[in-house]
Structure 1
Amino acid sequence: MKLASLKTNQEGQSSRDGYLVVVDRSLRFQVDVSHIAENMQQALDSWANVAPVLQAIYVSLNQGRVQNAQPFDVTQCLSPLPRAYHWADASAYVNHVELVRKARGAAMPESFWHDPLMYQGGSDTFLTPNQDICMPTTDWGIDFEAELAVITDDVPFGVSAQNAQQHIKLLMLVNDVSLRNLIPAELAKGFGFYQSKPSSSFSPVAVTPDELASNWRDGKAHLPMRCYLNDELFGQPNAGIDMTFNFYQLVAHAAKTRALAAGTIIGSGTVSNCDRALGSCCIAEQRMLEILEFGQAKTSFLQFGDTVKIEMQDEQGATIFGAIQQKVTRRAES
């Protein structure tokens, strides 16, 4: 099943939480289901009751049996969850962490291989899939980070990794925008990210895990994450390879000391493979490889006018989530 949140409903009314639509598998048609659940959060709050109804509509939509279907316009999409109660991002590809630390001469604690890194990010203002990354300066080191994320229903306190899998209801792509030049000073304070992690963006569509068929297994999505910078392929590492902690483990980690509310988003961290020939899902990693090889970075962080595209396709080349497509623009001084 594929779901999206639109900026306006059929009557032209707008809502900051969006209006829920079911989207067909090819991302060509949609049907308004806001009479069943007005928005994504309402659907997640009552997932056990609502999901079977939405699934039946999805099947009918794919069979061409929904009379009131409309063309799906990705430019009208908000984030699947335009704002969320909880957004936690991990760093599940530990080889990525090791590489970044190695380039700056920092040893990596052995614990990183068996205890996930995770931080809680801002979830009140997510960007739309096509919204500009608008910053006042490029001196902050603007970077993209291509990731996968899961959305859960209510997760009990202390859930095990084995039981966590039943609470993963939806998957989506993430561009976890980072301001690299602000990170060192923030982390040096010993209190984590804040200013260096502005609003993230998510794919137009969130999908149930079964949409990935056999490519969703062991809590991982075994498909390439394709990233384009200014329309040129930047990287396509496989999201299922070299993922040290799967999503079941990440959800369990987040719930170790608290229950998680329905609508919680858990990110994988930047997708990264040990096979460097597949490229990178962020500029920082590419720069680290350049430092190790040449003694200095050659690739600049994002500049005004640069474009970023993040997408995942199935084996037939069909887009699964739709694409995150963003441009870096200058924010006027206020």
Structure 2
Amino acid sequence: MRLATRENGCRDGQLVVVSKDARRCLAVPEVAPTLQSALDDWETVRGHLEVASKRLEAEPDLGLSLELTSLMAPLPRAFQWVDASGYLSHMERVRKARGAEMPPSARIEPVIYQGLSDRNLSWCEDIPSDASWGTDLEGEISVITGDVGPAPTSKEALEQVRLLMLVNDVSLRALIPAELQKGFGFFHSKPASAFGPFAVTPDELGDSWRDGRLFGRLKVEVNGEVRGDLRTGEDQDFSFADILQYATRTRGLSAGSIVGAGTVSNRDSSRGVACIAEQRILQQLAGAQAESLTRYLLPGDTVTLSFSLDDGREVFGRIHQMAVAAKEARRRPRFLDSRA
């Protein structure tokens, strides 16, 4: 089952069920007006949403034509956005780039931070940028949880994974070192993230969702140039079960929390990268001089992220964004073809 949120003049939008061909949608306001309201009462609501999804497939005239540019982030605002570094190869490379050592504990438990969640960008929304910020993309997979109690077992944690999404977790690399030196972590350097148009239930993913990891292909493009053709899940050192267990060691997560597994990274560097910082460090390791390293995003640059299962289905839709000067950033229907 695929779900999305349409603009309707309200802050949290309108929940819709999406057809498999991503051309039609059906609102069920009597069941759940918003995705958050569905998550709050998931055990009751899910069955009704599944009935609506089946009807949408069986009745070609049911529902409305889906205008992709009308879609907000599946959760336009969330109770929490928690991101982890689930791929150690990414963490190792990026820390090396800024001259920082890997903390010994990072190899036995995930590193996480709590980021901005009161404003999530849609799949086609501008990335506010500035030449001095070192604006970077980060291609990731995330989950939306139900209520996860403190100290769950691995099984209990994964039972609360309600939906999965594609993410562009924007980072401002030039601002990170000074913030981390203060000892309180990210703030200005981690602005709003963007999410693919569709949130998908685990059963929709079949065997690709296993052991708390999503296996498939993440393609990363900047200005139409492929920067990464990566395999998710394959080199994921910490599963979503690991991340959820660590995040809830002393507290729970409320229904509607978004949890990311971190920038996708493969140990085989020939597969490319999901962020520019990692590309730059690989170039440095290959002997490139500072002036020849790939630059970070500048206004006018475009970013495209797509994820496909092994059968070729792009279940999350695509993320298409343009970096623009911060004062000019706004939601614009720049890209029209994001159908899965």
Q: TM-score range by the shorter chain?
A: over 0.9
SS at structure 1 position matched to 2:13: strand
Deviations 1:190-225 (A, max 9, x none): 110000000111110000011111111101111011
CA contact (8 A) 1:87 1:265 kept: yes
Q: Which residue matches 1:306?
A: 301
SS at structure 1 position matched to 2:10: strand
Equivalent runs, 1:106-125 vs 2, <5 Å: 106-125=100-119
Query: Hey, what's the Cα distance between the residues in 1 that align with 2:212 and 2:325?
Result: 39
Which residue of the other structure, out of 154, 160, 164, is the alignment partner of 1:171?
A: 164
SS at structure 2 position matched to 1:151: strand
Aligned length: 327
Deviations 1:26-78 (A, max 9, x none): 21211111221010000000000000110111122122x26431121111111
Q: So what's the TM-score if we normalise by structure 2? A: 0.93
1:269 aligns with 2:248: no
1:86 aligns with 2:80: yes
Q: Which residue matches 2:227?
A: 234
Which residue of the other structure, out of 151, 158, 173, is the alignment partner of 1:180?
A: 173
Q: Which residue matches 1:7?
A: 7
Q: Which residue matches 1:319?
A: 314
1:206 aligns with 2:199: yes
Query: Hey, what's the Cα distance between the residues in 1 that align with 2:131 and 2:111?
Result: 27
Residue type at the aligned position of 1:5: T
Query: Hey, what's the Cα distance between the residues in 2 that align with 1:40 and 1:190?
Result: 36
1:156 aligns with 2:149: yes
Query: Hey, what's the Cα distance between the residues in 1 that align with 2:256 and 2:64?
Result: 27
SS at structure 2 position matched to 1:309: strand
Deviations 1:218-276 (A, max 9, x none): 01111011111111211021111110110111111111111111001100110000011
Q: Which residue matches 1:279?
A: 272
Q: So what's the TM-score if we normalise by structure 1? A: 0.95
Residue type at the aligned position of 1:108: M
Deviation at 1:296, TM superposition (A): 3.0
- Extract unaligned runs of 5+ from structure 2: 330-340
Deviation at 1:295, TM superposition (A): 4.2
Deviation at 1:107, TM superposition (A): 2.8
CA contact (8 A) 1:222 1:240 kept: yes
Residue type at the aligned position of 2:313: A
- Extract unaligned runs of 5+ from structure 1: 9-13
Superposition misfits of 4+ residues, deviation over 4 angstroms:
none
Query: Hey, what's the Cα distance between the residues in 1 that align with 2:299 and 2:320?
Result: 15
Query: Hey, what's the Cα distance between the residues in 1 that align with 2:283 and 2:106?
Result: 24
Residue type at the aligned position of 1:4: A
Query: Hey, what's the Cα distance between the residues in 1 that align with 2:226 and 2:116?
Result: 29
Query: Hey, what's the Cα distance between the residues in 2 that align with 1:332 and 1:168?
Result: 37
Query: Hey, what's the Cα distance between the residues in 2 that align with 1:284 and 1:290?
Result: 10
SS at structure 1 position matched to 2:11: strand
CA contact (8 A) 1:43 1:50 kept: yes
Query: Hey, what's the Cα distance between the residues in 2 that align with 1:250 and 1:234?
Result: 27
When structure 1 is superposed on structure 2, of 88-97 and 286-295 the one drifting more is: 286-295
SS at structure 1 position matched to 2:47: helix
SS at structure 2 position matched to 1:84: coil
CA contact (8 A) 1:26 1:318 kept: no
Change (3 A) 1:278 1:333: closer
Deviation at 1:134, TM superposition (A): 2.0
Deviation at 1:102, TM superposition (A): 2.8
CA contact (8 A) 2:31 2:45 kept: yes
Query: Hey, what's the Cα distance between the residues in 2 that align with 1:221 and 1:285?
Result: 22
CA contact (8 A) 1:86 1:263 kept: yes
Query: Hey, what's the Cα distance between the residues in 1 that align with 2:327 and 2:264?
Result: 33
Q: Which residue matches 2:32?
A: 37
CA contact (8 A) 1:122 1:199 kept: yes
Query: Hey, what's the Cα distance between the residues in 1 that align with 2:128 and 2:94?
Result: 26
Deviation at 1:316, TM superposition (A): 3.6
1:25 aligns with 2:20: yes
CA contact (8 A) 1:41 1:263 kept: yes
